[in-house]
Amino acid sequence: PPASEGGSFFSGKFVLLTVGATQEPLDPVRFLSNRSSGKMGFALAEAALRRGARVVVVAGATSVPPPPGVEVRRALRTEDMLHAVEELFPAADVFIAAAAVADYRPKSVALQKIKKGNRLVLELEPTPDILMEMGKRRRSDQVLVGFAAETENLEANARDKLVRKNLDFLVLNDVSRADVGFEADENEVVLYDRWGGRFTFPREDKRVLADKLLETIAARLAAVR
């Protein structure tokens, strides 16, 4: 859709994002985590800021600095990220979950460093699903945007997450590809929405892509609401 259709949707809105990777400690020197640089999430934060939004990012571990002007709250463990999001979510107009959240955490955290030995079996338990939880609590005037990192059955898995988590938009990342996504500066995604829309975004710099994603989201909201 042309740029004008999105109008000034983000202007004056409060946009909350999760960015980066959560880390689940195993002992004082080790953790379980996911691959994520935070580039895509920070690019979305910056794009929202440029569109006149107030932006708060709840960030796990990131390997790039946050964009200037964006308020960042650090939350390394999934549980901490959930609590920070829970506190801010009621005031948010838009919630974008771009974080790579650890799906499992060690069932117990060793207080002392685990010494090496023969075999070590770890028991893991699921972490809370932050986005799913906000999907349950959301008001109809809030806009929820999720990501899906998939390696197979891309479209089916993406549509399933959109519905299951009660989202308005879902950005599909094909993470089986080495040339885009994760640490790369470029990404190539498909955006799905709850009204049946599907928009493909060819390979592009993450900052340009982020702005195009927000433009399409704004235009879709103007068209369907």
Contact residues for ligand CTP (CB under 6 A)? 18, 78, 97, 99, 101, 103, 127-131, 146-149, 161
Q: How far is the CB of 97 from ligand CTP (least distance, A)?
A: 3
Find the Cα–Cα–Cα–Cα dihedral 156, 150, 202, 224, rounded to 10°.
50
Q: Could you tell me which residues are beta bridge partners of residue 189?
A: 173, 201
Q: Which residues are catalytic?
A: 34
The residue type of 7 is: G
Q: How far is the CB of 133 from ligand CTP (least distance, A)?
A: 8
What is the distance between the alpha carbons of residues 25 and 110, in angstroms, rounded to a whole number?
Answer: 9
204 binds Ca ion (CB under 5 A): no
Q: How far is the CB of 207 from ligand CTP (least distance, A)?
A: 19
- Local structure of 179: helix, strand or coil: coil
What is the distance between the alpha carbons of residues 203 and 178, in angstroms, rounded to a whole number?
Answer: 13
13 is in an annotated binding site: no
128 is in an annotated binding site: yes
Between 17 and 219, CB nearer to Ca ion: 17
Q: How far is the CB of 87 from ligand CTP (least distance, A)?
A: 15
Q: Please choose which of ligand CTP, Ca ion, none residue 97 contacts, taking the beta carbon within 5 to 8 angstroms, the exact cut-off set by kind.
A: ligand CTP
Q: How far is the CB of 103 from Ca ion (least distance, A)?
A: 4
Residue among 210, 193, 189 nearest 201 (CA): 189
| Antiparallel, parallel or unpaired: β 104-106 and 169-174 | unpaired
Cβ neighbors of 41 (< 8 A, separation 6 or more) are 17, 18, 19, 20, 57, 59, 62, 96, 98, 99
Between 161 and 207, CB nearer to ligand CTP: 161
The residue type of 119 is: R
Q: Please choose which of Ca ion, ligand CTP, none residue 129 contacts, taking the beta carbon within 5 to 8 angstroms, the exact cut-off set by kind.
A: ligand CTP
* DSSP per-residue string spanning 33-49: E----SHHHHHHHHHHH
What character string, x for contact with Ca ion (CB under 5 A) and - otherwise, covers 160-199? ----------------------------------------
What is the distance between the alpha carbons of residues 47 and 65, in angstroms, rounded to a whole number?
Answer: 15
Residues 94-153 touching Ca ion, rule: CB under 5 A, are 103
Q: Please choose which of Ca ion, ligand CTP, none residue 25 contacts, taking the beta carbon within 5 to 8 angstroms, the exact cut-off set by kind.
A: none
Q: Please choose which of ligand CTP, Ca ion, none residue 79 contacts, taking the beta carbon within 5 to 8 angstroms, the exact cut-off set by kind.
A: none
- Could you tell me which residues are annotated as the binding site for CTP? 103, 113, 128-131, 147, 161, 165
Residues that bind Ca ion (CB under 5 A): 103
